[in-house]
Amino acid sequence: MTHILVTGGAGYIGSHACKALAQAGYVPVTYDNLSTGWQDAVKFGPFEQGDLRDRARLDEVFAKYHPQAVMHFAALSQVGEAMSEPGRYWANNVMGSLTLIEAAVAADCLNFVFSSTCATYGDQDNVVLDENSAQYPLNAYGASKRAIEDILRDFGASHGLNHVIFRYFNVAGADPDGEVGEFHRPETHLIPLMLDAIDGKRDALTVFGTDYDTPDGTCIRDYVHVCDLVDAHVLGLEWLKSGKGSRVFNLGTGSGFSVMEVIEKSQAVTNRAVPHSIGNRRAGDCTRLVSGSDRARDELGWNAKRSTLETMIADAWRWHQNGSYEK
């Protein structure tokens, strides 16, 4: 059996990655401290509780399973919190990742798939971002992810650590089988916030600004289905196993949807009104942020098969109605 260590495997994207790995014939070993993840989401392989900064615990897990690769999702990821508490992000994301990378190298586990973010690009408005775009992160979240990318390159040069880095945009949707889904506390993502508003679980959704230079005046963002996203991670693992070397890939659709388009499509999918109000613009919100993902398509053979707005909302709505980790 080929074991893959999945950090953050009890979280939203990590749990979907574990299912994709199991379907591809791997045994995903979830390593998670459950600070934001849910043990009920661990359904596709063994679970090991631990913190990224606990080197002794990591060494124990590497020795127990001898994983052939690491798939690294675990991170703090709230932009607002990163602005007010940057030290937490440098300590958890960067120091935790450094400890993980050192443990992997010591265990001779030299294939590493890393979950990065478009936040490393910063505020580059109204351009299609590709892997060669300059990186100007605006907060400790984006900066910490860029720093981890640098660490991976350094360990690639010094220790032969082969790595694939995925920088992705707005992740949405849920497992169409309903086994795992998106469940954050607190919730900050647009689609689950909107579904909560539909259900009366929170106040009306606030639309931050309707005076942007877009067809309906609201911001445009690139959304990718979580299942498409994790499919790319499995392809990235296969890329490394075939000896093709380290590479960076963006993941998105290259088009994007406005906030009002998401609201209108949600009303059509759920057949229910989305309570919403209009607020002022938020500082730092770009007009249009979309990904150029030609490299992932051309080199990995990746296609965003489920990343239509209707499918992402329908899958999220099904999970929202039936799935929960909170008891």
CB contact at 8 A, 192 and 316: yes
Q: Does any domain span residue 128? A: yes
The 10s digit of each residue's pLDDT in 109-123 is 999 999 998 888 887
**Domain shared by 84 and 205, yes or no:** no
Whether 262 shows a pLDDT value over 70: the answer reads yes
- List the single range of 75-84, 265-274, 288-297 with lowest mean pLDDT: 75-84
Q: How far apart are CA 159 and CA 154, in angstroms?
A: 8
Local confidence band at 185 (pLDDT 50, 70, 90 cut-offs): confident
Local confidence band at 57 (pLDDT 50, 70, 90 cut-offs): very high
Local confidence band at 17 (pLDDT 50, 70, 90 cut-offs): very high
Q: Does any domain span residue 185? A: no
**Domain shared by 83 and 195, yes or no:** no
**Domain shared by 309 and 198, yes or no:** yes
**Domain shared by 269 and 242, yes or no:** no
Q: How far apart are CA 205 and CA 198, in angstroms?
A: 9
pLDDT at 172 (0 to 100): 94
208, 235, 251 - which closes a domain: 251
Q: Does any domain span residue 179? A: no
pLDDT at 287 (0 to 100): 82
**Domain shared by 41 and 61, yes or no:** yes
**Residue type at 50?**
G
**Domain shared by 266 and 200, yes or no:** yes
Note the pTM of the prediction, 2 decimals: 0.93
**Mean of the pLDDT values across residues 246-268?**
93
Among this protein's residues, is 212 annotated catalytic?
no
**Domain shared by 7 and 41, yes or no:** yes
Please give the residue range of the domain that contains residue 144. 3-171+223-251
Q: Does any domain span residue 93? A: yes
Q: Does any domain span residue 300? A: yes
List the catalytic residue out of 141, 168, 212, 223: 141
Whether 327 shows a pLDDT value over 50: the answer reads no
pLDDT at 46 (0 to 100): 98
Q: How far apart are CA 100 and CA 123, in angstroms?
A: 30
**Domain shared by 144 and 259, yes or no:** no
Local confidence band at 200 (pLDDT 50, 70, 90 cut-offs): confident
**Domain shared by 49 and 90, yes or no:** yes
pLDDT at 325 (0 to 100): 63
Half-sphere exposure at residue 31, Cβ-oriented, CA atoms within 13 angstroms = 29
Any idea what the CATH number is for the domain that residue 315 is in?
3.90.25.10
Q: Does any domain span residue 91? A: yes
Whether 284 shows a pLDDT value over 90: the answer reads no
Mean pLDDT, all residues of the chain = 91
The 10s digit of each residue's pLDDT in 209-251 is 999 889 999 988 899 999 999 999 999 999 999 999 999 999 9
- List the single range of 46-50, 173-177, 247-251, 320-324 with lowest mean pLDDT: 320-324
Whether 65 shows a pLDDT value over 90: the answer reads yes
- List the single range of 103-107, 135-139, 262-266 with lowest mean pLDDT: 135-139
- List the single range of 68-77, 95-104, 273-282 with lowest mean pLDDT: 273-282
If phi over 0 gives left and psi between -120 and 50 gives alpha, with beta otherwise, what is residue 94? alpha
**Domain shared by 236 and 258, yes or no:** no
Number of compact structural domains in the chain: 2
**Domain shared by 96 and 139, yes or no:** yes
Q: Does any domain span residue 18? A: yes
Whether 23 shows a pLDDT value over 50: the answer reads yes
pLDDT at 288 (0 to 100): 82
In sequence order, what DSSP letters do the residues of 128-191 get, joined into one string? EE-TTS-----SHHHHHHHHHHHHHHHHHHHH--EEEEEEE-EEE---TTSSS----SS---HH
The 10s digit of each residue's pLDDT in 140-169 is 888 999 999 999 999 999 999 999 999 998
In sequence order, what DSSP letters do the residues of 246-276 get, joined into one string? -EEEEES-SS-EEHHHHHHHHHHHHTS---E
Local confidence band at 96 (pLDDT 50, 70, 90 cut-offs): very high
Q: Which of 10, 35, 40 is nearest to 93 (CA)?
A: 35
**Domain shared by 239 and 213, yes or no:** no
Any idea what the CATH number is for the domain that residue 136 is in?
3.40.50.720
Counting beta carbons within 10 angstroms of the beta carbon of residue 307, is it exposed (0 to 12), middle (13 to 18) or buried (19 or more)? buried
Q: Which residue has the higher pLDDT, 286 or 200?
A: 200
